[in-house]
Chains A and B, each alone.
Chain A
């Protein structure tokens, strides 16, 4: 490649190429002195610039195979484009289907378990509600005679020192009938109906006779406990189902987003 001086159309290049040092005007000389350029250096720069203008250089030839290689690459790019799109569409559809199946497989067993648990809770709820509201219903349905009504326990003032003292000190001498009678009276009374003061009074008599408490009253207490356990189970199942619903919502959202 041989460069012509047309490469230096304006500015400092034009000045250097067209003028020798002694041909420069006052303004140009001032510019050179501002740059600390001596006459010798100016001549060196001028000669270099002129040499660059006469530069003779053979440009290297790229290797023969490179052109064909690049043209092949150009062709490949043209052909591949639709294939890539088709492949992407297929892969997206397949992934979405796989995800849906996976979600269904995960949900099914949980759903069954959840329904089972909920139905159990509902049935026990019904039973408990009967026990709580009407403790006598069980007895009525089974034709069991109801325990006798409990009279109000005598007030603290009504109990004589003698009576209470005899109950405590001579309990061994106490007749079995008396004990049974007192126990029946106390045990049959609903817990909530007995005032704390009365309970403390009667508890003395009950101390040794606890096993003799009738089953009817005990069953009421047990059912309360059972009810508490079931209600805790219910809340557990409810929270589980809520979390399951959240998970399902999240999964479906993820699938939709995908």
Chain B
């Protein structure tokens, strides 16, 4: 039995450049959910708008995959593209005003084990998202990429085209601000 090592994102992109349809499908399955949640966090939890942005991003990959330099890492590149799409939306919102929607929090049944803790966590997550919408774009994006998308400081510095020191200071500033706004969630 041979052990099959999954293809890296960069290898998949090489296949996509050669117009390999299954490779595009695999890449979509790998990134669609996390990118959709990133868009939702960045775009006022607006699901419809986030799906449109996700579609735009993958259309870009489908139509112009050669824009990706295969000698570089895919993850920072795709988040850079996503971040640029968000910036465009902010510009549009600057003209029209942001379209904020109430985040969907799934209901929990009273019989679920550890219900109190889970309700606290969900409430914390919902409140955190709400607070995040009040933070300015570079700080919010840095925070989301670090604590939700689990990107390294170096990857974030590539996406934002800044030094790692700047990323650290932005993270600390945002953490401090969020901590001050969520004093009720200190024992989760």
* Residues of B with C-beta under 8 A to A73: 59, 62-63
The 8 A CB mask of A61-82 against B (1 = contact, 0 = none) is: 1110011011101110110000
| Contact between chains at A60 and B37 (CB < 8 Å) | yes
When distances are taken between beta carbons in the complex, the residues of chain A under 8 Å from B182 are 48
Q: Contact size class for A?
A: 35 or more
With A and B bound together, what is the CA distance between A86 and B129 in angstroms?
A: 51
> Residue of A at shortest CB range from B151?
A7
Whether the pair A47, B168 counts as a contact (CB closer than 8 A) is no
- Min Cβ gap B177→A in Å is 10
- Select one of B33, B175, B187 contacting A59, CB under 8 A: B33
Question: How many residues on B have C-beta within 8 angstroms of the other chain's C-beta atoms?
Answer: 47
Q: Which residue of B lies closest to A53 (CB)?
A: B147
- Asked if B118 is at the interface of the complex by the 8 Å CB criterion, the answer is yes
Q: Does A221 contact B (CB under 8 A)?
A: no
8 A Cβ contacts from B149-179 to A: 150, 153, 168, 171-172, 175-176, 178-179
Query: CA of A62 to CA of B58 in the docked complex: distance in angstroms?
Result: 12
The smallest C-beta distance from A59 to any residue of chain B, in angstroms, reads: 5
Chain A residues closer than 8 Å to B36, beta-carbon distance = 59-62
Interface of chain A: mostly helix, strand, loop or mixed: helix
Which of B21, B34, B122, B172 has a CB less than 8 Å from the CB of A56? B122
B53 to A: closest C-beta gap in Å: 11
Once bound together, how far apart are the Cα atoms of A62 and B57, in whole Å? 13
Which residues of chain A come closer than 8 Å to B128, judged between CB atoms?
52, 55
Task: Using A54-B188, A77-B62 as known contacts, say yes or no to A7 and B172 having CB atoms under 8 A apart.
Answer: no
Between-chain CB contacts (< 8 Å), 7 pairs: A48-B178, A55-B128, A57-B37, A60-B37, A66-B32, A67-B32, A70-B24
Q: List the interface of chain A (C-beta within 8 A of B).
A: 1, 3, 7, 11-13, 37, 41, 43-45, 47-52, 54-63, 66-67, 69-71, 73-75, 77-78
